[in-house]
Structure formats: C-alpha cells, structure tokens
C-alpha cells in the first residue's frame, strides 16, 4: 500500500520505544496489562519507557500503581481530574522521549502481539503505523451508521483524509510526535491531527479483543460529542451548507411571491392562505434556529481556543527514566 520512502531514515539500532497508556478506571487489570506489556517490549525493544497517564480515575488506580512506581522504565502521570482520552494521549505524547511512540489502550482491546510488527515497519522506514479495525460486525447498526455518516461528512468537507476505522492504536516516529506537539489547538480531535501532520503511513488491520473488565467510557452521547469536535475542527461544511440552503429558500420564496402577486392582481384578494403563512413561519423559524445553532457551535469552539487554557493539569509526575532491556535491570 505504501512504499518505503526512498530517502534515508534515522532508525537507531538501540531505538528507544515509548508506550503511552491512557488509563481511566482500569485498576482491575492495569497491573496485569503493564506486566504483559513489559514482557512484549522486552522481546523486541532494546530500550523502552512506559508512560501511564491516569486520567483522573475514580477507582483505586493510584493504589494499584503504588508498588510499581519504583520500577525502571516507568513514568506515571496523574491528572488532577478526568480530562478525557484526547488530553491523556496529548500528555503522553508531550512526555514521550522515544525514537518511536506507541499509543495503546490499557484494556487489552489493542493486541500486544502487533507491537513487534509495528516496530518492524517503522524500522523499515515508515513514519506511522496505525491499527485499523478490520471487523466491526459486533457493533450495533446505529453505531456503524453514525460512524459512516461521520466519515462521509469529513471526506466531503475536509481536504485531509482520515483513514476509516483507524483509532488511536498506532506507532509514530519522533518526527510525527514533534509535529503533533506543535499543534496549538485545545480542541484535540486526535484522529484528525494524526492525518493532518502527514508523513508516510501504513495500516495494520486488527480485530479488537473484548474489554478485559468494565465497560467502555464511550457511549452514544460521548461518541456524538467526539464526532462533533472532529467535524468542527476539520471542516466548515456545516457553516457553508446554510448559505446554500438560504439561496435555495430565497429563490423558492421569490417565485412564490410572484405567484401570489399575480394571483391577487388577476383574481382579487379575499385574504386566504393563513395556513401557508403559519406553516412558512414555523418552517423558517426552525431553519434560522438551526443555522444559529451551527454558528454557535463554531463560536463556542473559537471561545475555547482563545481562552488558551492548558489541555490538562498534572497532579503527580513520577519519572524513572527509560529501561535498557539488554542490561539486567
Ligand atoms: N480513557 C481515558 N480517559 C477517558 C476515557 C477513556 O484515558 O476519559 C482511556 C481508557 O482507559 C482506555 C482508552 O482510553 O485505555 C479507551 O477507552 P475505552 O476502552 O473506554 O473506549 P473504547 O475502547 O470503547 O473506545
Ligand atoms: Mg476499550
């Protein structure tokens, strides 16, 4: 699909691999996951660091992490409250020192077995290797329909192409990570930002496993909110649609006005048509409210941007530095 870039790439033999793990209420399986992740990393990475971002969990994540905090190769960043997955990923990306940075969920849904292959593709010169869900048949029809609509809108309204069914599970070269760090926006729709920065990339299909324990934090409401964040951040199509609707309605209204004028000139006017008037009034009030709503949606985001608040607030940051798998520690 993607040919390996012809220009030489800097891929050190003793590359440092950073793994960013956002964790929100994952205490039940987090320690197991970190143990399995270390085992996987030790198998192929000369040096690695694991960055756990506790996104203001309300369970006993801190307690579970306490005995692990002295371990080499671990960085533990804990937020002052829940800031959301996009903020947690951004914190991990800001903190990562690796030559390559892997983003992986802490609930075992992203297969650890894929990490060596991702790294191999990166070593061969590709800058970004992203996981693509190859089978969504276990998702509800409504969710698949919503996802389809979302990608359709993004594709028709934005010059960048966001790969379908790709999530946050990915490996990125240091260059990609540096580019992401330079993006100043507060509204961080990560899937869009990965695509926006460019670089050579390749898809790696995978079938997500079931969640280890607990339930997904993303319900229809939060998914819709995320989709809206993506649409408003990457396309102004919803704003432009209203100019088109306005033009069409004005033309129809003008034709109707001529028709009414002609009719009353020819046949006189005994004031009929109150129902047309009432229906028209309601219809156009609706249209106006919707268009003001769309405008407000964008304006709200502009407001968020100008406030320039930090993306997240860190309460604890414990950094033991990277671990050298080849030495015995
Ligand atoms: N997550 C997070 N902050 C949140 C919600 C989720 O850091 O506010 C993390 C969560 O711990 C997990 C990943 O993001 O590692 C994906 O979340 P989840 O499994 O709930 O979503 P899904 O797999 O359904 O996309
Ligand atoms: Mg999950």
Q: How far is the CA of 188 from the centre of ligand 2 (A)?
A: 19
Q: Whose CA is nearest to atom 18 of ligand 1?
A: 216
Closest ligand 1 atom, residue 211 Cα = 19
pLDDT (tens digit, 9 = 90+) per residue, 4-58? 667 777 788 889 999 999 999 999 999 999 999 999 999 999 899 999 999 999 9
Q: Which residues line ligand 1 (CB under 6 A)?
A: 22-24, 26, 55, 82, 84-85, 88, 105-107, 109, 211, 216-218
Average pLDDT over residues 109-132: 93
What DSSP string runs through 122-187? HHTT-SEEEEEE---TTS-HHHHHHHHHHHHHHHHH-SS-PPTTEEEEEEEEHHHHHHHHH---SS
Q: How far is the CA of 88 from the centre of ligand 1 (A)?
A: 10
pLDDT score, position 2: 57
pLDDT score, position 327: 61
Looking at per-residue pLDDT, the higher value among 218 and 118 belongs to 118
Q: How far is the CA of 193 from the centre of ligand 2 (A)?
A: 20
pLDDT (tens digit, 9 = 90+) per residue, 225-238? 888 888 888 888 88
**Whether 315 contacts 62, CB under 8 Å:** no
Q: How is residue 310 written in tokens?
A: 């930090």
Closest ligand 1 atom, residue 25 Cα = 11
**Whether 23 contacts 53, CB under 8 Å:** yes
Residue to mutate (ligand 1; options 78, 107, 136, 217; most atoms within 8 A of CB):
217
Q: What is the spatial distance between Cα 230 and Cα 154, in angstroms, rounded to a whole number?
A: 8
| Mean pLDDT, rounded, of the chain | 87
Q: How far is the CA of 168 from the centre of ligand 2 (A)?
A: 11
- Record the pTM: 0.81
pLDDT score, position 163: 87
Average pLDDT over residues 131-147: 83
Closest ligand 1 atom, residue 208 Cα = 23
Closest ligand 1 atom, residue 109 Cα = 23
pLDDT (tens digit, 9 = 90+) per residue, 236-246? 888 888 888 88
Give the ligand with the smallest distance to the CA of 77.
Answer: 1
Q: What is the spatial distance between Cα 21 and Cα 16, in angstroms, rounded to a whole number?
A: 16
**Predicted ipTM > 0.90:** yes
Q: What is the spatial distance between Cα 101 and Cα 41, in angstroms, rounded to a whole number?
A: 12
Q: Whose CA is nearest to atom 3 of ligand 1?
A: 85
pLDDT score, position 329: 46
Surrounding ion ligand 2 within 5 Å at CB are 105, 107, 109
φ, ψ dihedrals at 164, nearest 5°: -65, 145
pLDDT score, position 328: 47
Of 84, 91, 119, 98, the C-alpha closest to 323 is 98
Of 207, 128, 123, 104, the C-alpha closest to 165 is 207
Closest ligand 1 atom, residue 26 Cα = 11
326 pLDDT higher than 80: no
Q: How confident is the model at residue 256 (pLDDT cuts 50, 70, 90)?
A: confident
Return the percentage of the chain with pLDDT > 90, whole number.
43
Q: How far is the CA of 211 from the centre of ligand 1 (A)?
A: 10
pLDDT (tens digit, 9 = 90+) per residue, 161-220? 888 888 899 999 999 999 999 998 888 888 889 999 989 999 999 988 888 788 888 888
pLDDT score, position 145: 87
| Helix/strand/coil for 49 | strand
Residue to mutate (ligand 1; options 28, 32, 85, 106; most atoms within 8 A of CB):
85
């Amino acid at each position: 699909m993607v040919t390996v870039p012809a220009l030489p790439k800097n891929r050190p033999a003793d590359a440092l691999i950073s793994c960013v793990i956002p964790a929100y209420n994952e205490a039940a399986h987090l320690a197991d996951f970190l143990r399995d992740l270390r085992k996987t990393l030790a198998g192929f990475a000369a040096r690695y660091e694991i960055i756990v971002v506790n996104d203001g969990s309300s369970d006993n994540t801190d307690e579970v992490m306490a005995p692990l905090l002295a371990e080499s190769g671990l960085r533990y960043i804990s937020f002052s409250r829940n800031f959301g997955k996009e903020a947690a990923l951004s914190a991990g990306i800001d903190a990562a020192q690796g030559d390559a940075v892997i983003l992986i969920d802490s609930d075992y849904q992203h297969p650890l077995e894929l990490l060596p292959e991702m790294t191999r593709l990166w070593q061969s010169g590709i800058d970004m290797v992203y996981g693509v869900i190859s089978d969504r048949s276990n998702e509800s029809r409504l969710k698949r329909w919503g996802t389809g609509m979302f990608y359709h809108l993004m594709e028709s309204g934005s010059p960048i192409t966001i790969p379908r069914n790709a999530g946050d599970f990915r490996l990125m070269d240091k260059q990609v990570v540096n580019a992401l760090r330079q993006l100043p926006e507060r509204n961080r729709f990560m899937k869009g930002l990965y695509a926006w920065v460019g670089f050579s990339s390749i898809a790696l299909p995978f079938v997500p496993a079931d969640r280890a324990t607990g339930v997904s934090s993303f319900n229809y409401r939060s998914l819709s909110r995320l989709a809206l964040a993506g649409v408003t951040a990457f396309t102004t199509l919803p704003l432009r649609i209203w100019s088109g609707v306005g033009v069409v309605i004005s033309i129809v209204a003008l034709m109707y006005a001529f028709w009414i004028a002609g009719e009353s000139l020819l046949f006189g006017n005994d004031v009929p048509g109150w129902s047309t008037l009432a229906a028209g009034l309601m219809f156009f009030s609706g249209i106006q409210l919707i268009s003001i709503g769309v405008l407000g949606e964008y304006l709200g985001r502009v407001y968020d941007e100008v406030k320039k608040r930090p993306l997240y607030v860190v309460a604890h940051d414990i950094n033991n530095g990277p671990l050298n798998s080849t030495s015995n520690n």
